[in-house]
Amino acid sequence: MRARFLASEVGIGLRRNLTLTVAVVVTVAISLALLGVGLLANSQVTVMKDYWYDKIEVSVFLCGSLSESPSCASGPVTADQRDAIQADLKALPVVATVYYESQAQAYTRFKERFKGSAISTNVTQDQLPESFRVKLKDPKQFAVVQSAFAGRPGVDSVQDQRAVLEKFFSLIGVLRDGALAIGLISVLTAALLISNTLRIAAFNRRRETGVMRLVGASSFSIQLPFILEGVIASIIGWAIATGLLAALKSLVDHRIAPLLTFTKFFGWSAVWQASAFLFITGFLVSSIASLLTLRKYLRV
């Protein structure tokens, strides 16, 4: 079958079945876009982990006048205790750098962060604890520091900033899993719709396929126009899905990024990667659905 004749047959098929073709295009577009959102949420988590794990620290708060934990029973930390803690921290192999923050520095930082808020006027310098800010070589090794220093005399508490971030990540993770799950279900819906559309197309064109069979067209050339119709509709749907993801990316860049300056967002490469993955998914799903349907409804 020559390309031009094939193209005209496919064109006739798509036009004759226009409403269903549109339905397939829209369903494929939505389902692939949802899958794409899932993939982008995933790259967002990766980007944020890379960005934040470089910056997060473990804070070892020292006993102050207000500390209530049992290890602070003997009062505020002494200079000897402080020096010993600092030396021990630096000796830990998982520790990259140690930085001491005095009560005065903590107070300055506090005033800066809560500038203009009523709380900054009510807090005095001696209410804020002094601390060691510890950067780890691997931020996941928090437990080592925790077990070595929590409960030690002069240490009030050991806090991991990662714990706060993890909550945020798990929120994005839920978003990602939800988008992926709904996306997968919609992809399944799209496959069923493609299958049903082709069944109707095969029925509508039973005269043509009957003639093709009789004059000895191969089963491949009988099925090819149908498969192409499914695949072309899917490719149009994929193009729309990619457009939606690109729109999401530009929305993030222009509307969301200026508001949330504390983090980085996924780049365009993540969008193109997701798009490539969606193309493969759409192509496979539509061609497999087509082949299975035609084997059943297009006897050759």
Stretch that binds other proteins, among 21-29, 37-45, 175-183, 216-224 (CB under 8 A): 216-224
Stretch that binds other proteins, among 2-10, 48-56, 107-115, 169-177 (CB under 8 A): 2-10
How many residues in the shown chain lie near other proteins by CB under 8 A? 18
Question: Does residue 211 interact with other proteins by CB under 8 A?
Answer: yes
Nearer to other proteins, 172 or 300 (CB): 300
Nearer to other proteins, 2 or 115 (CB): 2
Nearest to 32 by CA among 228, 240, 177: 240
Task: Please check whether residue 103 is in contact with residue 76, taking contact to mean a CB–CB distance below 8 angstroms.
Answer: no
Question: Does residue 218 interact with other proteins by CB under 8 A?
Answer: yes
Question: Does residue 216 interact with other proteins by CB under 8 A?
Answer: yes
299: left (phi over 0), alpha (psi -120 to 50) or beta: beta
Nearer to other proteins, 205 or 249 (CB): 205
Q: Is 78 helix (H, G, I), strand (E, B) or coil?
A: coil
Listed in sequence order, the residues at least 6 apart from 66 whose beta carbon sits closer than 8 Å to its beta carbon are 127, 129
Applying the rule CB under 8 A, the residues between 238 and 277 that interact with other proteins are: none
Stretch that binds other proteins, among 191-199, 212-220, 238-246, 270-278 (CB under 8 A): 212-220
Other Cβ atoms closer than 10 A to 73: 10
Nearest to 161 by CA among 50, 274, 58: 58
Task: Please check whether residue 233 is in contact with residue 28, taking contact to mean a CB–CB distance below 8 angstroms.
Answer: yes
Nearer to other proteins, 82 or 205 (CB): 205
Nearer to other proteins, 174 or 211 (CB): 211
- Output the CA angle 159-144-133, nearest 5 degrees: 40
State the binding string over 170-209 for other proteins (x if CB under 8 A, else -): -------------------------------------xx-
Q: Is 77 helix (H, G, I), strand (E, B) or coil?
A: coil
- Tell me how far, at minimum, the Cβ of 207 lies from other proteins, in Å: 6
Strands (E), the chain: 58-62, 95-101, 131-136, 155-160
- Tell me how far, at minimum, the Cβ of 284 lies from other proteins, in Å: 24
92: left (phi over 0), alpha (psi -120 to 50) or beta: beta
| Contact pick of 29, 212, 227, 294 for other proteins (by CB under 8 A) | 212
Stretch that binds other proteins, among 30-38, 180-188, 215-223, 267-275 (CB under 8 A): 215-223
Nearer to other proteins, 97 or 218 (CB): 218
Listed in sequence order, the residues at least 6 apart from 291 whose beta carbon sits closer than 8 Å to its beta carbon are 223, 227
**Chain mean position to CA 115:** 34
- Residues engaged in binding other proteins (CB under 8 A): 1-2, 4-5, 207-208, 210-219, 221-222
